[in-house]
Amino acid sequence: MNQEFRIDFPATGQQYFLNCWSVSGLESCVTVRTGESRFAFDIGHATRSSINCDRVFITHGHVDHCGALAKHVSQWDIRAMTPATYYCPQDIQETLKNICQSYAAMAESLEKPTIASPKILSVKVGEDFPVSPNRTMRPFRTTHRVPSNGYLIYKQEKSLLPQFQNLTGYEIGALVAAGTVVHEKHSVPEMAYTGDTTFDCFLDPANADILQARILITEELIFRYPGTLTSSINPVLSIMFASLSVFFCMHGC
């Protein structure tokens, strides 16, 4: 699929615009746009929608998930825009930087700051990283043939305190004008992306929040239970998780 589609959450008034591009074993790139935030998950192909994403989350070092990094980085030099920020597992940070520097050398563009020195940050599982004024990203452990991360985006939202929920808008406005705190802030699991992984990541208690996310996107779930054969999930099957709002499985779309 190489076109953007929209998901609406009427209860919160939130809209999400997704482009999910995946050709099994060749290239993967998923973009999510909501409000002021533009995120890309993996950059195996620099899709048109990914070019405008200023936060890119790379799950692992296989070429189908990061092979278009240099192309994506170069677009910010070409358009003279503020460069994107890239996030990746700790073990591949320097290699990704070296790849971009090699492209800069071949193009005789070492004087261009973005392609020669892209902002690639290594991230540690379980730590929070701010990615927008009201969103943070937390990497989580996934299981693959090479070290890999998934990414969970949290949104900071506010809701009325219980004692004020039966008041009218006028009454709440009067309390706010008088300096009364009527809202409480909380962090909501908003979207999760696993990349390539076995089903083990869903069984890890440390990853419990990915099943609470409003949107979960995964590519090629592999189920692995003790005493059973390992098998790949059919992409046309729908898996229902109890508290999950939207679920996508991509495999050779």
Average pLDDT, whole number, for the chain?
82
φ and ψ at 220, to 5 degrees?
60, 80
pLDDT tens readout for residues 144-185? 889 899 999 999 987 778 887 888 888 888 888 888 887 788
Residue 252 pLDDT: 40
Q: Of 14-18, 106-110, 160-164, 170-174, which one has max mean pLDDT?
A: 14-18
CA 194, CA 210: separation in Å to the nearest integer? 9
How does DSSP assign the chain, residue by residue?
--S-EEEEETTTTEEEEEEEEEETTTEEEEEEEETTEEEEE--SS--TTGGG-SEEE---S-HHHHTTHHHHHHHHHHTT-PPPEEEEEGGGHHHHHHHHHHHHHHTT-TTSHHHHS-EEEEE-TT--EEEETTEEEEEEE---SS--EEEEEEEEEEEE-GGGTTS-HHHHHHHHHTT---EEEEEEEEEEEEEEEETHHHH-GGGGGGGT-SEEEEEEEEE--TTS--EEPPTT-----TT-SEEEEES--
pLDDT tens readout for residues 207-218? 999 989 999 988
State the Cα torsion 65-67-71-76 to the nearest 10°: 40
**What pTM value is reported for the model?**
0.82
Is the pLDDT confidence value at 114 over 90? no
CA 119, CA 139: separation in Å to the nearest integer? 18
CATH number at 5-250 = 3.60.15.10
The confidence band for 247, taking pLDDT boundaries of 50, 70 and 90, is: low
